[in-house]
Amino acid sequence: MHELDSTTQKNISTWLNGNYDQQTKDEIQALLNQNALTELTDAFYRDLEFGTGGLRGIMGVGSNRINRYTIGMATQGLSNYLKKVYGDKEIRVVIAHDCRNNATTFAQITADVFSANGIKVFMFEHLRPTPQLSYAIRELGCHSGVMLTASHNPKEYSGYKAYWNDGGQLIAPHDKNVVQEVLAIKSVDEVRFQGNPVLIEKLGHDMDERYINRLTRESISPGAISRQSDMKIVFSPIHGTGYPLVPKVLRRFGFQNVMLVDEQIKFDGNFPTVLYPNPEEQEALTLALEKARETGADLVMATDPDADRVGIAIRDNLGELILLNGNQTGSLLFNYVLTARESAGTLTEKHYVVKTIVTSQLMDAIAAAKGVPCYNVLTGFKFIGDLMTRLEREKTFLVGGEESYGYLVGDHARDKDAIVAAAMIAEMAAYYKDQGQSLFEALITLYLEHGYYKERLISLTKKGKSGAEEIRAMMQSYRENTPTELGGAAVTTLKDYAGQVSTDMQSGSKTPIDLPKSDVLQFVTADGSVISARPSGTEPKIKFYCSVRGDLSDASQFEQVSAELDAKIDRIMHDLGVG
């Protein structure tokens, strides 16, 4: 093992000699016998840490993998932290899981460890969406919660999202404190795996009804739905938790013509009908699009496995189905909620909306035109949830969104919610159809009013330890050798969220950024382009978010301006050495 670093060797030795099951030890020994140094390093070079989405990784043996021991240690660490925070008070948590392979097992292990530590557990009897977990924490007055999911990652992944008492994912200082509690566990023997069934209570149909009833309160235009109740909608849960809640909520809203993609309503952690269960990818919507073409549907929607993200397809002016990206859907949704409430007379000075710093500035422009504050927070919906909690006694949250297809309408949860988003998107389509306008035409109208904002996300995958080092080197290079020009326009501002400082590139003057530290760089150019570089907190990737803007004076110019903006993004990415 001389080619493995000392930390990796130490972790392997701990697992081979510790109180781990024999099958686990046999798998490790087999890798050693094969001299599988890269696989061993990736599995043992570190302990999994909480990122923007919690604990997430590939399932398998090792300290850097998702398995019964890393799940157990995470839960023991969280239990220890909850006891430190709440002392002798009765501590209550909620647990849910999606359709992932081993998710039921991991959920039971989580429940057992919590209950073994004397913590009251509410556990959903069957798989449920992430947003319903967030809702249940708030509804039941719990102190924490755990969602077993890897969201839209490939089938070999699993994950563990930890939540706090407001229903939001862990943020500072709780996230780091829980990590410290986990790291303080020196032996798997410290994990209390033997559960106490008396402390575990199952949640079922009643909590579904409470959740659904709460979501229906967000409807703004019931009259439009009533008149357009036969609007054809195709929905796919992509084998996940969106079924049956999305169809049920759509019916409660008043939609009577919802068609399901039969091949994808079966819960299956292998996701046999798609390459990746990610509604951001066109391939994942292939079957839904086929059904929409066969049936003449107006709207296509698909949710990811834990139903916190939704992707949609609409018809363009030629009647062809096109996919919208997360920025376009979010912009339409922001505009609809504000416009419909304005028309209904229910928009007040206390209302506000929220987006992330890498999400389209079109949303800021829409909110400004309506006189509604639009707050920008760090990437990760947990920061939207945190702001909601901090403002809940002063202001009223309406809608939040991020470019990665996550939206929330209403304050019932503190995480993105594809269940309510799907219902509100359908309502939005009915609202515009009732006025003789398609969603595509509504989008073009936004561009005519505010400018054509076009975004593109470029992700570079860098796997394993070497990949993580390469990503760090890229970010360091951008900081030390900041480009002076991107896409033919001068870089006027550099925002370094890790240093919490914004630098004027001409004068050198610096102003503080009033957000938590985050490894994000933003380049702002003289013509208004914004390019963000950000290592992912949940995947082995570095992501580049490129946003450009052009003027659209007539709908007939849409294709031409779109092509010009695409070319501009290409030039910017080339200047950054990407793509």
Give the active site residues: 151
Task: State the Cα–Cα distance between residues 55 and 104, nearest whole angstrom.
Answer: 17
Residues 148 and 96 sit within 8 Å (Cβ to Cβ): yes
144 in Cβ contact with 136 (< 8 Å): no
Length of the chain: 579
- Identity of residue 432: Y
| Residue among 406, 337, 387 at smallest CA distance from 516 | 387
CB 203 within 8 A of CB 211: no
Distance CA(15)–CA(29), nearest Å, equals 10
Residues 556 and 8: their CA atoms lie apart, in Å, by: 60
Sorted by sequence, the CB contacts under 8 Å of residue 577 that are 6+ apart come out as none
Q: Are 254 and 229 in contact (CB under 8 A)?
A: yes
Q: Please choose, from the candidates 87, 73, 85, 64, the residue with its C-alpha nearest in 3D space to the C-alpha of residue 183.
A: 73
Under 8 Å between Cβ of 458 and 573: yes
Residue given tokens 């009647």 in the structure block: 319
Burial of 186 (0-12, 13-18, 19+ CB in 10 A): exposed
Query: Which H or E element spans position 334?
Result: helix 326-344
Residue 557 burial (CB < 10 Å; 0-12/13-18/19+)?
middle
- 2 CB contacts (<8 Å, ≥6 apart)? none
Please give the Cα distance from 215 to 410 (Å, whole number). 8
